[in-house]
Amino acid sequence: MAYAFGVVVIIAGLTSLSLPPLDVAILLSIALLITGFARVPIEAERRPEIPVWARVLLLVSTVAVPVMIVGMAMALWAKTGGLDWRLVVGSIVLVTGVGSILQSGRHHSLLTIHLAGWAPLAVIEGSVTSMVVLAACLPAAIGASYRQVQLSGEAKAKAESMVRVSRRAEELLRDFEEMGQGWFWETDRRRLLTYVSPVVARSLGVSLNRLLGRSFTDLFDLGEDGQEGERTLAFHLNARSSFQELAVRAAVIDGGEERWWSITGRPTYDGFGNFVGFRGSGHDLTEKRRSQQQASRLAHFDSLTGLANRFQMSQTLEKILNAPHERQRECSVFLLDLDRFKQVNDTLGHPAGDALLKQVSQRLERVVDTQGRVGRLGGDEFQVIIPGESPREELARLAERIIDVLSQPYSIEGHRVVIGASLGIAIAPQHGVTSEALVRNCDLALYAAKDGGRGRFHFYADDLHSEAEERRQLEQDLPAGYPFRG
């Protein structure tokens, strides 16, 4: 403002080819001094913590008073005849214009500058017209300024509300991420990460800065176990299409705990419809996947021995017998039953019986090795499936080896335990082309082996059916309650 006052005085003096009177010079000097030392008070007036009355006082003393003094000085200079009134008006316009620029956006300051600049001119000029115009403009100016203050307050309140909402959203987002409920990610159009939640970096064992700018797919281990997820994710990224609940394995550092995530994403576009990247979320799937794997294991494996259970063995046999090529349908089935196992349960208890079954399963797996699959059907009954064509002599040697190994003494809770084993053998397709027929005939062979003195193996033969039928008929012919011993 001091520069504006100086320019006004210089222009007025040069235009009128005169010097201001002494009283005018004194007023202009006072105005210049006030504006020269007004920087600190003006900055203080802008602080919201300053009381209202103090801010009004500072505004009047540092803004209104200097402008009013300049307006009064220019009017007095014109009244003495040394200055043209038109030049006075132009000077006031210049001073108030500069003040408006300096106080832009502060409507009450603008009103103060204009009133302070024009009011002395109207008063000193003294005409009725000037006084009427001043009186008419004053309420209008006050009303307009008041309305502008209202609008400014509403805009400020709206902006503050939006800031609070934004901060609240950021806090909720941060709490959501920190509580482990999920995480968020964003990429640019080249699929490079522009944002990812800090929890992801901690799960991977790397710093957040190392992840930003890297490819989105670097977050995942898309190896053999993740091939399906890799194909699906790659398809959606290439097609720029949305995807939901896609299971992927996290690319944890070597030695880190295996983690699985479920990710969801969608493409994003700018206001002109240009593709700008992807944005989405994810959550931890590790525990759910472990539960699913455990449930699957319980459905397919024996919980005591870890061997395949009846369901899994049945599926394996069905798969072989339903193979597309005839030679692929050949296989051999061993049905194995432990001898004297019930005696161990009765004398040493069921925990000892369970321990014995575990040792039996371990020995059985070692003997069969890679030749076939071993399973426990329940109780002390086991099954072995040998895929492919095998000579009877080779099957007989394997059966003898199984019986010999399982008949060796066991150590159960400090007790020496000796049991035996009996085997029935059926071969597909000679002894059956369906799993039901093959298992039934294998069971008849096992019965024949036990009937022959236990500790033996027996291949299925057609005459076993007739013997079984004769035995069934004999059982029906015996009186009720008569003990039958086959």
Q: Are residues 261 and 358 in the same domain?
A: no
- Which of 423, 424, 442 shows the shortest CA–CA distance to 317? 442
Sign of the Cα torsion 344, 345, 348, 353 reads positive
Q: Are residues 281 and 397 in the same domain?
A: no
Q: Express each pLDDT in 299-310 by its tens digit.
A: 889 989 999 999
Residue 231 lies in a domain: yes
DSSP assignment of 296-309: HHHHHB-TTT-SB-
> For the chain, how many residues are written?
486
Q: Are residues 272 and 311 in the same domain?
A: no
Please check whether residue 441 is in contact with residue 460, taking contact to mean a CB–CB distance below 8 angstroms.
Answer: yes
pLDDT band at 438 (very low <50, low <70, confident <90, very high): very high
Q: Could you give the residue ranges of the DSSP H alpha helices within 179-263? A: 198-204, 208-211, 227-239
Please check whether residue 70 is in contact with residue 80, taking contact to mean a CB–CB distance below 8 angstroms.
Answer: no
- Any catalytic annotation for residue 254? no
Q: Are residues 240 and 122 in the same domain?
A: no
pLDDT band at 69 (very low <50, low <70, confident <90, very high): confident
Distance CA 434, CA 436 (A): 5
Query: What are the two backbone dihedrals, phi and then psi, of residue 284, each rounded to the nearest 5 degrees?
Result: -75, 135
What CATH number should be reported for the domain holding residue 220? 3.30.450.20
Q: Are residues 247 and 389 in the same domain?
A: no
Asked if pLDDT for residue 236 goes beyond 70, the answer is yes
Query: What are the two backbone dihedrals, phi and then psi, of residue 183, each rounded to the nearest 5 degrees?
Result: -150, 170
286's tokens: 């590790």
Kindly name the residue from 380, 443, 463, 477 that is annotated as catalytic.
380
Q: Express each pLDDT in 410-436 by its tens digit.
A: 999 889 999 999 999 999 999 999 999
In percent, the amount of the chain with pLDDT more than 70 equals 67
How many structural domains is the chain composed of? 3
Residue 144 lies in a domain: no
Q: Mapping DSSP to helix (H, G, I), strand (E, B) and coil, where does residue 182 land?
A: coil
Domain that holds residue 202: 183-290
Q: Are residues 316 and 286 in the same domain?
A: no
Q: Express each pLDDT in 460-481 by its tens digit.
A: 998 887 665 566 655 565 665 5
Residue 158 lies in a domain: no
Residue 398 lies in a domain: yes
